[in-house]
Every structure is written in structure tokens, then in C-alpha cells.
Amino acid sequence: MSSDSMPVAVNEAPKPAPVQAPPESVIKQLRNVIEPELLIESMTTPREAATEGILVFHGRLTRPSHIAFPRWQATLAGMGYTPTLRSVAEETGQRGAPPEEVFVHIFPGVVKPTASRIWINAVLFAATIWSTLLVGATNVLEPQAWTDILSPNYLLNGVPFSATLLVILLAHEFGHYFAARYHRVAVTLPYFLPMPVGFGTFGAFIRLKEPISDRRKLFDIGVAGPLAGLALALPLLIYGLSLSTVEVPPPNATYIIEGNSLLYLGVKYLMFGQILPNPVTGADVFISQIAFAAWIGLLVTALNLLPVGQLDGGHTVFALFGRKARVINLATMGVLAVLALASLPGFQSFIPGLESVGFTGWFVWLVLLLLIGVEHPPALDDVTRLDTRRRLIGYLVIIIFILTFVPVPIRVVG
């Protein structure tokens, strides 16, 4: 749509008419809810109800936002309205605006959580148990007949892999789940995604049934999953590596090398006393099923901590930096694009050594991230900032992402 200063084309859709202001009695009720914590300077009826609400109060907070907003939200929900809180400085770009100067948008309607269908979660989890057992068993012993894929005796070979991977994923997802329940945010149980090849699963996710009210809750829910998963993945990795051996692969053999993150490289060095794969001797660790599943757990942690959109890492950087996180979102997409392009032979012919950092799988991730959205939407209360303790944890989570990120997760040799 063209701006107000430009002529409107004949075939252009008409501009939306101004929103009809609520009756005076309703406005008075809304003011009575807002005024105890907001010194109202002006009230306007916006032009677009879908994005701005039916009323916008402009004023200065007389109490901290993390105290004022929960009361507004609870009271207005009982009246059938939903508020949002925005900083005037961020909304208008006025750098001189004090932090307590805000807009309060009032929207009609309240999101009501829908009932969960737990049977779907149960069926998907059962299918994921089978798919991870199958992949784990296949890693140990090739099936002799197609009936083996349902044979309990055959699938038992996959128990170490399946149990290790699922306990890490369960810790991750229930970290999110219990953090959401702690903050009284309606949320589903985890949905597991079975995949009878590769890693045995596409991972898992939970779905929020209602908007998150502020950045502190967003942060807590976002970081709880990766931290819980990592707390199990790291000791399981160490235990799994203790069951592994270091050998020189046979010549002309075809095998898969799991990618090194800084954390994985460091743990192997501490346990085996050398960089693996060894650049001189070619020796590498032949990891046990437990170690392989724990490595996947670390990879899942890193992928979820990508600071983009509504991934766990996207939640973290948005909670830390607000709208400035957009720069981090776009920079991350740029790095992934470079790693994806580095996997193409055409680029490798121009720059020697690119094959060591290129991975075609990042093309898939780029598409997925573009589909789910690169930037993070604001919370209902976008004024309340993280406290010092949460900020320190947030910086720690960023460090964890750097330590667990794997530029080339999987490489086939031979």
C-alpha cells in the first residue's frame, strides 16, 4: 500500500477505515484498569485493530512493568481483552524517550488454550522408540530379513542407542515443559518425530497453547530445554567414550565421521590424549552406541540453540537483546548460507579447503528457518527486561552454543 502522501492508484485496495472506538463506558472501565500503574498522557483509536488494537494508551509507568503488566493482563482477560506493552523508544525510534514511557495496546479477545489429544503424543513416542531401536540395531548388525525390523530379538541390539538418545531428548523437552508449567503457561506434552533411518528421529517439540507474557518467562522456557538435555548428554558422552576404542581405519574403507564441535573435540582430547581424528596418524575414535547417541544429543542442543526465529537460541537472544537480536538472526543465516555454499563443487574449485567446512544439510535448515520465520515476535510485555542472573545464564547459553556447534555434522569418507 502506498503512503498517505502518494496518490492512490485506481485499482488499489482502499485503506482500512479507522477502528470504531469502544463505547465511553468501556473506555472508562479500561482506563480504570490501566491508570493505577500508568500516568496516561493520551489515548488514541488506531487505524488497524488487527495490529494495533482498539485503543492505545500512551503514558509513563508509575510501577515496574513486571509488576504492572501481570495485573493488567489478568484483569483485562476477565473482561475479554488482551493488553500488550511496548516501549515508546523502540516503537517510534525516539532515542531520548525515557524507559518508563510506554504504549499500552488493548486488543479484543483472549486466547483460550485448546484441549490436548494425548493419544497423539503417545503414538508418536511409541513410533520413535521403535525407530530409534531399529537404527541402533542396524548400527550393530545388518538385518537379515525385512521381518527383523519388528523382531524383538533383533531390536534389542538397539537398546543402548535408543535409551541414551531418548533420555536426552526427554530431558530437553520436559525441561521446556516444566518451565512452562512453572510459569503457568499452557503447553502440550512433547511430540516426538520418528525417522527409521539416520538418527532414528527428527527430534521432538512442544507447542505453546497461549502467548508468553514477557521476556523473563520466554527466557526461562527457552533455556530450560537445552540446559536439561546438556546436563545428561555430557556425562553420557563421557561414559560412552570410555566404552570406545581408538583405531586407524582400514585403508580404502567407507565409513562415516561424526563432526567435531569444540566441546566434543575437547572431551576426546581429555580422554584419549590426542586430537581425533589424528591429523598425522589418521587414528580416530570408533564410538560406542551410547557415545554416538550422546553426540547426537549434543548436536540437537546446538541446532536448537541456533539464534534464529523461535528456536531455543532465538528465544534466548531475543530475551537478551530485544529487537536488536535481528542483527544476530540475520548474521546466523548468513553463516549457515556460507557453510551450505561451501559444500558445492563450484565454490570449492575457487577456494581450496572449502570441502572441510561445507555441508549440504545447511540448505535444508535454511529453508526450514525461512519457513518458520527468521525474526522473533515480541512478547505481550516487551518492556520488562531480564534481571542480572538471567542475563548471565543467557551469556552462558550463547557460550554453550559456540562450544557445541558443528559446522560439518556428518562426513562420509571413502
Q: What is the pLDDT of residues 238-256, one digit of tens each?
A: 999 999 999 999 888 888 8
What are the extents of the domains in the chain?
24-108, 112-243
Strands 284-286 and 201-205: unpaired
CA torsion angle for 236, 242, 247, 249 (degrees, to 10)?
-20
The pLDDT, as a whole number, for residue 17 is 47
pTM: 0.90
Tell me the average pLDDT of the chain. 91
The pLDDT, as a whole number, for residue 144 is 83
| 99 or 161: which leads in pLDDT | 161
pLDDT score of 11 more than 70: no
The pLDDT, as a whole number, for residue 331 is 98
Q: Which fold has domain 24-108?
A: Alpha-Beta Plaits (3.30.70)
**Nearest alpha carbon to residue 180 among 229, 226, 220, 230:** 220
The pLDDT, as a whole number, for residue 16 is 43
Rounded CA separation 263/176 (Å): 23
Question: pLDDT tens-digit profile of 264-308?
Answer: 999 999 999 999 999 999 999 999 999 999 999 999 999 999 999
Residue located via cell numbers 558445492: 344
Please, which pLDDT band fits residue 18 given cuts at 50, 70 and 90?
A: low
Please, which pLDDT band fits residue 66 given cuts at 50, 70 and 90?
A: very high
Q: State phi, psi for 87 to the nearest 5 degrees.
A: -75, 135
* Dihedral of alpha carbons 354, 355, 357, 361, sign: positive
The pLDDT, as a whole number, for residue 48 is 65
* Dihedral of alpha carbons 315, 317, 323, 327, sign: negative
Residue located via cell numbers 526450514: 368
Bridge partners for 245 per DSSP? 286
CB 414 within 8 A of CB 252: yes
Please, which pLDDT band fits residue 33 given cuts at 50, 70 and 90?
A: very high
pLDDT score of 228 more than 70: yes
Question: pLDDT tens-digit profile of 325-383?
Answer: 999 999 999 999 999 999 998 887 777 777 778 899 999 999 999 999 999 999 999 99
**Nearest alpha carbon to residue 393 among 327, 330, 317, 329:** 317
| Residue 322 region by backbone torsions, left for phi larger than 0, else alpha for psi between -120 and 50, else beta | left
CB 177 within 8 A of CB 114: no
Q: Which long-range contacts (CB under 8 A, 24 or more apart) does 35-41 make?
A: 36/62, 36/63, 37/61, 37/62, 37/63, 37/67, 37/68, 37/71, 37/72, 38/62, 38/68, 38/102, 38/104
* CB burial readout 51-82, b (16+ within 10 A) else e: ebbbbbbbbebeeebbebbeebbebbeeeebb
Rounded CA separation 175/340 (Å): 31
pLDDT score of 223 more than 80: yes
The pLDDT, as a whole number, for residue 279 is 92
